[in-house]
């Protein structure tokens, strides 16, 4: 396979950007910006997420089974950049960001326009990222959304032509 062609073709898949938080105060809290996310079933509502096996967020997600997918809005690119590095929980804030707590015990970013609570149902252990199949157990709509909901969110392409995760 032509490596450059593979990279180019795979980078043609469009992505959103999200901050995935995992774990609870009783376990370990971790959070990271991710893009490898998609819905895979209506009933039950399931999402598939690709999570890097050597990351804190992987350990917290696997050990607790409790996740929150924080949807980022247009204009929240700075927040995406903050969570490309490991998150810190101190003084009731996550990497300096105000949070609330999901019913499953994981943190929700207060500024996220929406957040989706997830319960891990299966982990497919293939590759350098494992695929987490997780069921939607609750949602939080923190802002009134006008028009198409997918127009209100941050997309990978909004971060500029040099930022990719894929290929
Ligand atoms: P890391 O930053 O990976 O870990 C930091 C250090 O801690 C590493 O040295 C690691 O070895 C060490 N460490 C890890 N786990 C533990 C542990 N349990 N105990 C002790 N030390 C540990 N990542 C994804 O998984 N999925 C995505 O879809 C995704 N999309 C991305 C998109 C973009 C555009 C970019 C730039 C990055 C993306 N990432 C993605 C990477 C992710 O944002 C970073 O890896 C993020 O820093 C993860 O933070 P972390 O704390 O979980 O672990």
Rounded to two decimals, the ipTM of the complex is 0.94
- Asked whether residue 3 is assigned to any structural domain, the reply reads no
Predicted pLDDT at 25: 86
Ligand 1 centre to CA of 46 (Å) is 23
- 78 alpha carbon to ligand 1 midpoint, in Å? 17
Say what the pLDDT of residue 43 is.
98
Atom index in ligand 1 nearest the CA of residue 36 equals 28
Q: 38-64, pLDDT tens digit by residue? A: 999 999 999 999 999 999 999 999 999
In a domain, 167, yes or no: no
Instruction: List the CATH number of the domain containing 110.
Output: 2.30.110.10
**What backbone phi and psi angles, to 5 degrees, belong to 155?**
-110, 155
Quick check: is 24 in a domain?
yes
Identify the domain containing residue 113 by its residue range.
14-158
Distance 87 CA to ligand 1 centre (A): 9
Output the pTM of the full model: 0.95
HSE at residue 64, side-chain half, CA atoms within 13 A, is 25
| Residue 28 pLDDT level (bands cut at 50, 70, 90) | confident
Q: Tokens 């995992």 — which residue?
A: 22
Give the pLDDT of residue 55: 97
Residue 18 has pLDDT above 90, yes or no: yes
Q: Is the pLDDT of residue 155 over 90?
A: yes
- Residue 122 makes CB contacts below 8 A (sequence gap 6+) with 132, 133
Residue listed under structure tokens 């157990």: 137
DSSP string across 87-129: --EETTEETTEEEEE-TTS-EEETT-SEEEEEEEEEEE--SSE
Q: Does residue 140's CB lie within 6 angstroms of at least one atom of ligand 1? A: no
pLDDT of amino acid 27: 84
Question: Does the C-beta of 54 come closer than 6 Å to ligand 1?
Answer: yes
163 found inside a domain: no
- Cβ atoms of 77 and 154 within 8 Å: the answer is yes
| Burial class of residue 34 in the structure, from the number of CB atoms within 10 Å of its CB (0-12 exposed, 13-18 middle, 19+ buried) | buried
- Position 7 in a domain: no
SS3 60: helix
Nearest to 30 by CA among 21, 19, 18: 21
- For the chain, the domain total comes to 1
pLDDT, the chain, mean: 96
Residue 47: its pLDDT value, please? 98
Nearest ligand 1 atom, CA 164 = 34
pLDDT per position as a tens digit, 134-148:
999 999 999 999 999
> Could you tell me the end-to-end alpha-carbon distance of the chain, in angstroms, rounded to an integer?
13
- Kindly report the protein residue whose alpha carbon is nearest to atom 49 of ligand 1: 86
| pLDDT at residue 26, rounded to an integer | 86
* pLDDT above 90 for 9: yes
């Amino acid at each position: 396979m032509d490596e450059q062609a593979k990279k180019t073709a795979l980078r043609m898949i469009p992505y959103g950007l999200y901050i995935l938080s995992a774990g609870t105060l009783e376990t370990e809290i971790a959070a990271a910006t991710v893009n490898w996310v998609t819905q895979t079933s209506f009933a039950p509502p399931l999402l598939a997420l690709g999570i890097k096996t050597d990351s804190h967020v992987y350990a917290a997600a696997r050990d607790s089974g409790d996740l929150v997918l924080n949807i980022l809005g247009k204009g929240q690119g700075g927040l995406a950049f903050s969570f490309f590095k490991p998150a810190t929980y101190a003084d009731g804030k996550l990497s300096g960001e105000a949070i609330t707590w999901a019913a499953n015990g994981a943190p929700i970013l207060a500024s996220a326009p929406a957040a989706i609570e997830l319960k891990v149902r299966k982990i497919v252990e293939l590759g350098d990222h494992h695929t987490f199949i997780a069921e939607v157990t609750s949602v939080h709509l923190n802002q009134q959304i006008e028009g198409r909901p997918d127009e209100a969110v941050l997309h990978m392409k909004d971060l500029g032509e040099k930022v990719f995760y894929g290929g």
